[in-house]
Protein backbone atom coordinates (compact mmCIF):
# COMPACT_ATOMS: atom_id res chain seq x y z
CA UNK A 1 0.00 0.00 0.00
CA UNK A 2 1.32 3.44 -0.92
CA UNK A 3 0.65 6.35 1.40
CA UNK A 4 0.66 9.85 0.01
CA UNK A 5 2.78 12.53 1.72
CA UNK A 6 0.86 14.77 4.12
CA UNK A 7 -1.05 17.23 1.92
CA UNK A 8 -0.21 20.88 2.36
CA UNK A 9 -2.66 23.73 2.00
CA UNK A 10 -2.43 23.43 -1.80
CA UNK A 11 -4.08 19.99 -1.85
CA UNK A 12 -7.32 18.63 -0.46
CA UNK A 13 -7.32 14.84 -0.12
CA UNK A 14 -10.49 13.03 -1.09
CA UNK A 15 -9.08 9.51 -0.81
CA UNK A 16 -5.44 8.73 -0.02
CA UNK A 17 -5.36 4.97 0.59
CA UNK A 18 -5.59 2.13 -1.92
CA UNK A 19 -5.73 -1.62 -1.54
CA UNK A 20 -2.44 -3.35 -0.80
CA UNK A 21 -3.25 -5.66 -3.74
CA UNK A 22 -3.44 -2.81 -6.24
CA UNK A 23 -0.84 -0.52 -7.79
CA UNK A 24 -1.93 2.93 -6.60
CA UNK A 25 -2.59 5.78 -9.01
CA UNK A 26 -2.88 9.44 -7.99
CA UNK A 27 -5.41 11.76 -9.59
CA UNK A 28 -4.98 15.49 -9.10
CA UNK A 29 -7.89 17.72 -10.13
CA UNK A 30 -7.26 21.37 -11.03
CA UNK A 31 -10.49 23.42 -10.81
CA UNK A 32 -11.83 26.19 -13.02
CA UNK A 33 -11.48 29.93 -12.27
CA UNK A 34 -12.60 30.88 -8.79
CA UNK A 35 -13.41 27.31 -7.77
CA UNK A 36 -11.84 25.22 -5.05
CA UNK A 37 -11.03 21.56 -4.64
CA UNK A 38 -14.59 20.70 -3.66
CA UNK A 39 -15.67 21.25 -7.28
CA UNK A 40 -14.54 17.64 -7.78
CA UNK A 41 -16.01 16.16 -4.61
CA UNK A 42 -18.73 14.36 -6.57
CA UNK A 43 -16.07 12.29 -8.36
CA UNK A 44 -15.13 10.30 -5.25
CA UNK A 45 -17.65 7.53 -5.85
CA UNK A 46 -16.68 7.14 -9.51
CA UNK A 47 -12.90 6.80 -9.43
CA UNK A 48 -11.42 3.27 -9.53
CA UNK A 49 -10.57 1.66 -6.20
CA UNK A 50 -6.81 2.04 -6.60
CA UNK A 51 -6.98 5.80 -7.19
CA UNK A 52 -5.81 8.23 -4.54
CA UNK A 53 -7.65 11.46 -5.38
CA UNK A 54 -6.74 15.05 -4.51
CA UNK A 55 -8.17 18.44 -5.40
CA UNK A 56 -5.89 21.42 -5.95
CA UNK A 57 -6.71 24.21 -3.52
CA UNK A 58 -5.39 27.61 -4.54
CA UNK A 59 -5.47 30.73 -2.33
CA UNK A 60 -8.61 32.84 -2.23
CA UNK A 61 -11.21 30.07 -1.98
CA UNK A 62 -12.82 27.68 0.50
CA UNK A 63 -10.51 27.05 3.48
CA UNK A 64 -7.93 29.45 1.93
CA UNK A 65 -10.41 32.28 1.28
CA UNK A 66 -8.48 34.67 3.55
CA UNK A 67 -5.31 34.36 1.40
CA UNK A 68 -4.96 36.67 -1.63
CA UNK A 69 -5.20 34.91 -5.00
CA UNK A 70 -2.18 34.73 -7.27
CA UNK A 71 -1.71 37.73 -9.57
CA UNK A 72 1.10 36.24 -11.68
CA UNK A 73 1.28 32.87 -13.37
CA UNK A 74 4.95 31.99 -12.83
CA UNK A 75 4.88 31.88 -9.00
CA UNK A 76 1.60 29.95 -9.04
CA UNK A 77 3.10 27.27 -11.28
CA UNK A 78 6.43 27.04 -9.49
CA UNK A 79 4.86 26.85 -6.03
CA UNK A 80 2.53 24.04 -7.12
CA UNK A 81 5.18 22.16 -9.10
CA UNK A 82 7.66 22.08 -6.22
CA UNK A 83 4.88 20.73 -4.02
CA UNK A 84 4.01 18.00 -6.53
CA UNK A 85 7.52 16.57 -6.92
CA UNK A 86 7.12 14.34 -3.84
CA UNK A 87 3.88 12.81 -5.13
CA UNK A 88 5.14 11.40 -8.42
CA UNK A 89 6.72 8.12 -7.29
CA UNK A 90 3.53 6.35 -8.42
CA UNK A 91 1.62 6.77 -11.72
CA UNK A 92 -0.13 10.12 -11.72
CA UNK A 93 -2.96 11.75 -13.67
CA UNK A 94 -3.49 15.51 -13.86
CA UNK A 95 -7.00 16.66 -14.83
CA UNK A 96 -7.59 20.37 -15.33
CA UNK A 97 -10.79 22.12 -16.38
CA UNK A 98 -10.76 25.52 -18.15
CA UNK A 99 -8.39 27.74 -16.10
CA UNK A 100 -7.33 24.55 -14.33
CA UNK A 101 -6.31 23.00 -17.66
CA UNK A 102 -3.78 25.76 -18.22
CA UNK A 103 -2.45 25.42 -14.67
CA UNK A 104 -2.17 21.63 -15.01
CA UNK A 105 -0.35 21.94 -18.34
CA UNK A 106 2.12 24.48 -16.98
CA UNK A 107 2.82 22.42 -13.85
CA UNK A 108 3.35 19.28 -15.97
CA UNK A 109 5.70 21.20 -18.26
CA UNK A 110 7.65 22.65 -15.29
CA UNK A 111 8.11 19.17 -13.82
CA UNK A 112 9.53 17.84 -17.09
CA UNK A 113 11.88 20.78 -17.63
CA UNK A 114 13.08 21.32 -14.07
CA UNK A 115 12.53 18.04 -12.19
CA UNK A 116 13.10 15.60 -15.06
CA UNK A 117 9.84 13.75 -14.43
CA UNK A 118 6.66 13.40 -16.46
CA UNK A 119 3.15 12.77 -15.19
CA UNK A 120 1.55 9.51 -16.33
CA UNK A 121 -1.21 11.32 -18.20
CA UNK A 122 -2.35 14.94 -18.56
CA UNK A 123 -6.04 15.52 -19.28
CA UNK A 124 -7.07 19.05 -20.24
CA UNK A 125 -10.71 20.07 -20.46
CA UNK A 126 -12.70 22.98 -21.94
CA UNK A 127 -9.66 25.13 -22.68
CA UNK A 128 -8.08 26.60 -25.77
CA UNK A 129 -4.54 25.47 -26.52
CA UNK A 130 -2.30 27.97 -24.70
CA UNK A 131 0.01 28.63 -27.66
CA UNK A 132 -2.92 29.61 -29.92
CA UNK A 133 -5.08 32.72 -29.43
CA UNK A 134 -8.65 31.76 -28.66
CA UNK A 135 -10.33 34.93 -29.89
CA UNK A 136 -12.98 34.96 -27.14
CA UNK A 137 -13.78 38.33 -25.48
CA UNK A 138 -11.78 39.14 -22.35
CA UNK A 139 -14.16 38.65 -19.45
CA UNK A 140 -11.88 39.98 -16.73
CA UNK A 141 -12.16 43.52 -18.16
CA UNK A 142 -15.95 43.66 -17.89
CA UNK A 143 -17.89 45.53 -15.24
CA UNK A 144 -19.10 43.44 -12.32
CA UNK A 145 -22.63 43.35 -13.72
CA UNK A 146 -21.57 42.15 -17.17
CA UNK A 147 -18.96 39.81 -15.69
CA UNK A 148 -21.57 38.08 -13.54
CA UNK A 149 -23.94 37.87 -16.52
CA UNK A 150 -21.24 36.09 -18.54
CA UNK A 151 -20.58 33.67 -15.70
CA UNK A 152 -24.28 32.89 -15.48
CA UNK A 153 -24.33 32.23 -19.23
CA UNK A 154 -21.47 29.74 -18.98
CA UNK A 155 -23.16 27.84 -16.15
CA UNK A 156 -21.16 25.93 -13.57
CA UNK A 157 -21.28 28.63 -10.92
CA UNK A 158 -24.02 28.11 -8.29
CA UNK A 159 -26.88 30.57 -8.91
CA UNK A 160 -27.31 31.01 -5.17
CA UNK A 161 -23.79 32.47 -5.06
CA UNK A 162 -24.03 34.68 -8.15
CA UNK A 163 -27.37 36.06 -6.98
CA UNK A 164 -26.34 36.66 -3.35
CA UNK A 165 -24.73 40.06 -2.96
CA UNK A 166 -22.62 39.26 0.11
CA UNK A 167 -21.38 35.89 -1.15
CA UNK A 168 -20.67 37.39 -4.55
CA UNK A 169 -18.54 40.13 -3.01
CA UNK A 170 -16.37 37.40 -1.44
CA UNK A 171 -15.87 35.17 -4.48
CA UNK A 172 -15.88 37.66 -7.36
CA UNK A 173 -12.34 39.05 -6.79
CA UNK A 174 -10.89 35.52 -6.90
CA UNK A 175 -12.82 34.55 -10.03
CA UNK A 176 -11.76 37.77 -11.75
CA UNK A 177 -8.11 37.31 -10.68
CA UNK A 178 -8.07 33.77 -12.11
CA UNK A 179 -9.72 34.91 -15.33
CA UNK A 180 -7.15 37.67 -15.72
CA UNK A 181 -4.31 35.15 -15.34
CA UNK A 182 -5.97 32.87 -17.89
CA UNK A 183 -6.82 35.57 -20.43
CA UNK A 184 -3.48 37.43 -20.25
CA UNK A 185 -1.31 34.30 -20.27
CA UNK A 186 1.58 34.36 -22.76
CA UNK A 187 2.91 31.01 -23.90
CA UNK A 188 6.68 30.59 -24.05
CA UNK A 189 8.15 28.21 -26.53
CA UNK A 190 9.51 25.05 -24.95
CA UNK A 191 9.96 21.35 -25.84
CA UNK A 192 6.84 19.30 -26.40
CA UNK A 193 5.59 17.35 -23.42
CA UNK A 194 6.67 13.74 -22.97
CA UNK A 195 3.49 13.12 -20.96
CA UNK A 196 0.55 11.61 -22.87
CA UNK A 197 -2.07 14.31 -23.42
CA UNK A 198 -5.82 13.73 -23.64
CA UNK A 199 -8.29 16.54 -24.42
CA UNK A 200 -11.96 16.82 -23.38
CA UNK A 201 -14.59 19.38 -24.32
CA UNK A 202 -18.30 20.13 -24.45
CA UNK A 203 -20.15 19.92 -27.75
CA UNK A 204 -21.99 23.20 -27.06
CA UNK A 205 -19.20 25.16 -25.41
CA UNK A 206 -19.57 28.78 -26.60
CA UNK A 207 -15.94 29.68 -25.85
CA UNK A 208 -13.93 26.59 -26.84
CA UNK A 209 -14.44 24.99 -30.25
CA UNK A 210 -13.33 21.62 -31.55
CA UNK A 211 -10.53 23.37 -33.46
CA UNK A 212 -9.27 24.90 -30.23
CA UNK A 213 -9.26 21.48 -28.57
CA UNK A 214 -7.38 19.80 -31.42
CA UNK A 215 -4.60 22.39 -31.30
CA UNK A 216 -3.42 20.89 -28.01
CA UNK A 217 -1.93 18.08 -30.13
CA UNK A 218 0.91 20.44 -31.07
CA UNK A 219 2.18 20.53 -27.48
CA UNK A 220 2.97 16.85 -26.87
CA UNK A 221 4.81 13.94 -28.44
CA UNK A 222 2.09 11.55 -27.21
CA UNK A 223 -1.32 12.89 -28.19
CA UNK A 224 -4.22 10.67 -27.10
CA UNK A 225 -6.96 12.50 -29.00
CA UNK A 226 -10.03 14.63 -28.32
CA UNK A 227 -13.25 13.44 -26.69
CA UNK A 228 -16.36 15.61 -26.86
CA UNK A 229 -19.23 15.25 -24.40
CA UNK A 230 -22.78 16.52 -24.55
CA UNK A 231 -23.11 19.88 -22.85
CA UNK A 232 -21.53 23.30 -22.71
CA UNK A 233 -18.47 24.70 -20.97
CA UNK A 234 -19.33 22.84 -17.78
CA UNK A 235 -20.33 19.59 -19.48
CA UNK A 236 -18.54 17.59 -16.75
CA UNK A 237 -21.18 18.55 -14.17
CA UNK A 238 -23.88 16.69 -16.13
CA UNK A 239 -22.34 13.25 -15.85
CA UNK A 240 -19.18 13.15 -13.72
CA UNK A 241 -19.10 9.35 -13.77
CA UNK A 242 -18.87 9.29 -17.58
CA UNK A 243 -16.00 11.78 -17.48
CA UNK A 244 -14.07 9.80 -14.86
CA UNK A 245 -14.61 6.55 -16.77
CA UNK A 246 -13.35 8.19 -19.98
CA UNK A 247 -10.21 9.44 -18.23
CA UNK A 248 -9.16 6.03 -16.98
CA UNK A 249 -10.31 4.10 -20.04
CA UNK A 250 -7.76 6.02 -22.10
CA UNK A 251 -5.12 6.71 -19.46
CA UNK A 252 -4.82 3.26 -17.88
CA UNK A 253 -2.39 1.69 -20.44
CA UNK A 254 -0.11 4.72 -20.22
CA UNK A 255 -0.11 4.62 -16.42
CA UNK A 256 0.94 0.98 -16.49
CA UNK A 257 3.73 1.91 -18.88
CA UNK A 258 4.90 4.79 -16.70
CA UNK A 259 5.04 2.56 -13.62
CA UNK A 260 7.44 0.20 -15.39
CA UNK A 261 9.80 2.87 -16.80
Instruction: Judge whether 125 counts as a catalytic residue.
Output: no
Q: Are 61 and 34 in contact (CB under 8 A)?
A: yes
Tens digits of per-residue pLDDT, 225-256?
999 999 999 999 988 999 999 999 999 887 86
pLDDT tier at 260, thresholds 50, 70, 90 = very low
Domains, the chain, ordered by start: 11-260 (3.40.50.1820)
- Least confident interval from 31-40, 142-151, 207-216, 237-246: 142-151
Tens digits of per-residue pLDDT, 54-106?
999 999 999 998 999 999 999 999 999 988 888 888 899 999 999 999 999 99
Tens digits of per-residue pLDDT, 107-122?
999 999 999 999 999 9
How large a percentage of the chain has pLDDT more than 90?
58
Q: Which of 18, 49, 98, 217 is catalytic?
A: 98
Task: Calculate the average pLDDT of the chain.
Answer: 88
pLDDT value of residue 177: 93
Q: In sequence order, what DSSP letters do the residues of 173-227 get, joined into one string?
A: HHHHHHHHHHHT------PPBSS-EEEEEETT-SS--HHHHHGGGGGBSSEEEEE
Tens digits of per-residue pLDDT, 194-228?
999 999 999 999 889 999 999 999 999 999 999 99
Q: Are 58 and 28 in contact (CB under 8 A)?
A: no
pLDDT value of residue 259: 47
Determine whether 212 is exposed, middle or buried from the number of CB atoms within 10 Å of its CB (0-12, 13-18, 19+). buried
More confident site: 227 or 258: 227
pLDDT tier at 4, thresholds 50, 70, 90 = low
pLDDT value of residue 21: 66
| CB atoms closer than 10 angstroms to residue 49 | 10
pLDDT value of residue 170: 82
pLDDT value of residue 136: 64
Amino acid sequence: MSHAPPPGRALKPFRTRSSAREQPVRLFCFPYAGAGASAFGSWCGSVPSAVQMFGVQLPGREDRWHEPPYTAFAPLVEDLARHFVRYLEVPTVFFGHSFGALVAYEVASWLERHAGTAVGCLVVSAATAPHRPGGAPLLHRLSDERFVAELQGLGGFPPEVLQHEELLSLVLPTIRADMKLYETYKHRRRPRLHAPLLVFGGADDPRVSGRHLLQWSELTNRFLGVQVFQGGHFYLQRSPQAVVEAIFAVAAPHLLHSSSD
